[in-house]
Amino acid sequence: MKTLFLNFSKDPNGLTENLAYNSFNIANIKTINIVRKKIKPLGQKYSVDDQFQKICNEISKIDNLIIGTPVYWSSMSSYMKIFIDRMTEVMSENPFKGKNLYLVVTGSDPSDTFPHIKHVWEHVSKKFDMNLIKSVSN
């Protein structure tokens, strides 16, 4: 099974990545550090260097999708929020359909925010026909 980890942290080798790699008993994980990609916010004029569709093409080829975010100011990272907003553009072709989804939320004390972020992804996974398998936090 092919697995892709979308790391929505500004720190590509930090706690979010560490928890993602050590929580799910999944081997051969490929990581995309979203902070290093160009993804314009929804409603902005897109340019040829926008990489959202390329990432969706990668997602269409995998079985397991791990997504991870640190908590910034009591919420998910802006990178993750922009990605969720942009997902509406691919609803008709739905590269997320049937994927096993794993959620990672990290922070100094993510306990008050974890339920909110998990709720958002529960909603997104239903809308995009994904299987939310497990959610973890530090």
Which structural domains are found in the chain, ordered by start? 7-137 (3.40.50.360)
Which pLDDT score, from 0 to 100, does residue 31 have? 97
**What's residue 115's pLDDT?**
93
Residue 15: Cβ within 10 Å count: 16
Query: Alpha-carbon distance 64 to 4, whole Å?
Result: 6
pLDDT tens-digit profile, the chain (138 residues): 799 999 999 998 999 999 999 999 898 999 999 999 999 998 887 788 999 999 999 999 999 999 999 998 889 999 999 999 999 999 999 999 999 999 999 988 888 899 999 999 999 999 999 999 999 999
pLDDT of 46: 75
Q: Residues 106, 111, 138, CA angle at the centre, nearest 5°?
A: 35
Q: What is the pTM (predicted TM-score) of this model?
A: 0.94
pLDDT score recorded for residue 64: 97
